[in-house]
Structure 1
Amino acid sequence: MAHPESGGAVHTVRSLARATGVSWSKIHRLITEERPTVTRDQADRIANAVQVNRKALFTPTSSPFGDANEGKGV
């Protein structure tokens, strides 16, 4: 998705990290599915940076703990 810093260019891992405050290594691991989870807050920041709804990027996972993990994973 386009971002304002690059005149409409697509985000790189590092530019997305700068825009969201999520480490570039975490974003890389998310993209490569090495570690396919982030917190709800991180998911919201990534979705906002690429200007889409969080649900378009992330599928919530069910937790055996119910609401105890609310906000800890997406």
Structure 2
Amino acid sequence: MDIAEQHIAEPGLAVLDITAADEDTVRAVMEGLQQLWATSGVTAMWRVPGEAGVRARVYADVRHRPNDA
């Protein structure tokens, strides 16, 4: 999966790749990040054949909190 330049074009924008043992853990991490910053929210998860864990990617804007207007 490539990271598009637009996702990190400015300071404060980040792409976070999450890998955990199971989907519940990945979901909990994404939901926790969503409470801290403006994020892409809970995204699709996937597995890579032959590799351990479940993966997901989250786009975050750490300049803004979720309740910013």
Structure with larger RCO (C-alpha < 8 A, sep 6+): 2
TM-score (ref. length: structure 1): 0.28
Relative to its length, the structure with more helix (as a share) is 1
Q: TM-score, normalised by structure 2?
A: 0.29
Greater fraction strand: 2
